[in-house]
Structure 1
């Protein structure tokens, strides 16, 4: 390293590089950066393979040429109009699910603190069912219903768990109880619905991105981009909360307003995905923990968590489309992945106690 480089950066013994910045030193974790680059490469490769796989197969070079072609040939139509929306939805929704899980796991300081465990995913699905079955609404009202259902469920869980502050363990226990009640309500709503509506709702309940086109994807991407900005703003106080309430308070963090803001943003992330694709389970549960282990970080790395979620969902969607005897909703594949993840987690915990 040259003298100039030595003056502008300081290497930390644990593989960090500190770069001077106007607001304070920026710490770069080399292992996290390498993991992030690897996850990005995997996500891009899976996207290209997915764009080329189907009844009209294309090689990766053909996919790249079709994406940038100006002649508007059949390959371009297949890639840009038919397959690209689904691939982008898988990547963006997977990232949103991963970040939502990281928000709640960080806030509760518990690896089980994910939206589907706490009940927010189920609440969003309940809101969508009410709009679809009871009100008889169309796509727009179903989307609004999912958002309102998720937010109202979050408010109910927050109020029921509040005892001079929020305990992560209490939030999870209350959320599990609310989830059970909402699941019973969802079953009742589907049973009383007309057969055609009930079948549509049941298919949607499995979690599917098969029918998502540009018309649904573009507004969802815009909302998720705005929520990503809010997550970036809340990232610093969220890190302080991971250290415990006393440490966060000592650093000037207003605990309950920050928790409430994180709750709203995390629920909004999961509600947008649920409104468009239905409840896709376990990505938000597994992605933060996988990213943390890959990066070897003390906290939950948000960027790597988003990349991990994107990789998990697009890989699951590829399996759902092409690796089984017949195509199935992607949510069924993520449930299997989540089940294997939970089994591995339980085995790991049992070995640590021996």
Structure 2
């Protein structure tokens, strides 16, 4: 009887998980359709399909193929990248504060992009490439410094927070020294926005997101064992250092490439994992629901920022507003638990 009860609970959790994943996937598809048909000009779904098939429709082809399609695809793939990377960091380091927003990874990409825009006067794809390289370099430095006298999750988080503070100060200094025109360009990038995303950026983003996502899913079982503690992982034959490096590298690739396309969209990586865990109730393994939750957060926030107010706001402004109350709540809860 006890065995049947255990299996019944297991299947019940799995059923809830897959039901939640299907609901989230349906939401992503619905939001994608809304982003394609709705805007300053509303197009019928049939018109959108005709344009996507390659049939030129006067007045609609440019808007749909050049403006809305890249925006929608970037929202989906960047949302999934931020959500999955944030969840991976939080699970791997065992801390809900271990988000790329907070431990300096996103700032590593941002400082190079701002330097490229303000100092080198670059724009477009070259800024994206610079942001990717810098994000990976800074992340490697954070991991290297955290290795001193033995690796620990707490040391990595504290090193990342310190690095983030330094890089944010450097960004502020560059903004103060730059001309007014250049500052506005840099601030648009720093706010995290889907405006200006071009179709030539999307294929590269899609390849990295798909590759890194598959790799994280393949390492998921090892990640679950690592969450039990290093001692258990060693007994079960898990190569701890290799697994940790592989997961961190995949998460960093997701964050760096997503940030290079949209800029740092605040709080998505921080929020997606906890929200997914709450609604799916899946325990340790919520990779798919975290990625889908990230998609939904970015897409809904973009629609709200674009159409819910008289003025239009970048998606990062809306997600930042959503993330701030949760961060305060989390800090209060952690203080109470320690007390």
For 1:322 and 1:251, locate their aligned partners in 2 and report how far apart those are by CA, in whole Å. Answer: 52
Contact kept, 8 Å, 1:287 with 1:305, in 2: the verdict is: yes
* More divergent stretch after superposition (124-133 vs 295-304): 124-133
2:56 to 72, 80, 85: 72
Contact kept, 8 Å, 1:165 with 1:256, in 2: the verdict is: no
- Per the normalisation by structure 1, the TM-score is 0.86
2:112 to 120, 127, 133: 127
**Map 1:285-296 → 2, pairs under 5 A:** 285-296=270-281
For 1:327 and 1:277, locate their aligned partners in 2 and report how far apart those are by CA, in whole Å. Answer: 16
Question: Equivalent residue of 2:101, what SS?
Answer: helix
Contact kept, 8 Å, 2:192 with 2:314, in 1: the verdict is: yes
Matched, 1:103 2:98: no
Match of 1:178 in 2: 163
Contact kept, 8 Å, 1:291 with 1:300, in 2: the verdict is: no
Contact kept, 8 Å, 1:48 with 1:63, in 2: the verdict is: no
Question: Equivalent residue of 1:307, what SS?
Answer: helix
What is the Cα deviation at residue 140 of structure 1? 3.3
For 2:298 and 2:186, locate their aligned partners in 1 and report how far apart those are by CA, in whole Å. Answer: 21
Match of 2:245 in 1: 260
1:13 to 5, 8, 13: 8
- Write out per-residue CA displacement over residues 117-164 of structure 1, whole angstroms, 9 at most, x where no aligned residue: 110000111122233333443433322221221112212211222244
For 2:17 and 2:127, locate their aligned partners in 1 and report how far apart those are by CA, in whole Å. Answer: 39
For 2:323 and 2:47, locate their aligned partners in 1 and report how far apart those are by CA, in whole Å. Answer: 31
- Write out per-residue CA displacement over residues 256-304 of structure 1, whole angstroms, 9 at most, x where no aligned residue: 2222222222111111111111111100000011111111122141111
**CA 164–248 in structure 1, closer or farther in 2 if over 3 Å, else same:** farther
For 2:22 and 2:178, locate their aligned partners in 1 and report how far apart those are by CA, in whole Å. Answer: 47
Match of 2:204 in 1: 219
For 1:234 and 1:29, locate their aligned partners in 2 and report how far apart those are by CA, in whole Å. Answer: 19
* More divergent stretch after superposition (226-235 vs 100-109): 226-235
**CA 130–69 in structure 1, closer or farther in 2 if over 3 Å, else same:** closer
For 2:333 and 2:290, locate their aligned partners in 1 and report how far apart those are by CA, in whole Å. Answer: 21
2:195 to 210, 233, 245: 210
Match of 1:249 in 2: 234
**Map 1:39-54 → 2, pairs under 5 A:** 39-54=24-39
- Write out per-residue CA displacement over residues 308-336 of structure 1, whole angstroms, 9 at most, x where no aligned residue: 00000000000111011111111100100
* More divergent stretch after superposition (61-70 vs 208-217): 61-70
For 1:95 and 1:85, locate their aligned partners in 2 and report how far apart those are by CA, in whole Å. Answer: 15
Contact kept, 8 Å, 2:75 with 2:194, in 1: the verdict is: yes
RMSD between superposed Cα atoms in Å: 2.5
2:323 to 315, 338, 342: 338
Match of 1:5 in 2: none
- Write out per-residue CA displacement over residues 158-203 of structure 1, whole angstroms, 9 at most, x where no aligned residue: 1222244422222111211111011001111222233322220111
* More divergent stretch after superposition (61-70 vs 91-100): 61-70
- Unmatched 5+ residue regions in structure 1? 1-9, 18-27
Question: Equivalent residue of 2:9, what SS?
Answer: coil
Matched, 1:82 2:77: no
Could you say which structure has the greater relative contact order, defined with CA pairs below 8 angstroms and 6 or more residues apart? 2
**CA 182–346 in structure 1, closer or farther in 2 if over 3 Å, else same:** closer
Aligned length: 334
Question: Equivalent residue of 1:181, what SS?
Answer: helix
What is the Cα deviation at residue 57 of structure 1? 1.5
Contact kept, 8 Å, 1:51 with 1:87, in 2: the verdict is: yes
- Unmatched 5+ residue regions in structure 2? none
**CA 339–315 in structure 1, closer or farther in 2 if over 3 Å, else same:** same
Matched, 1:274 2:254: no
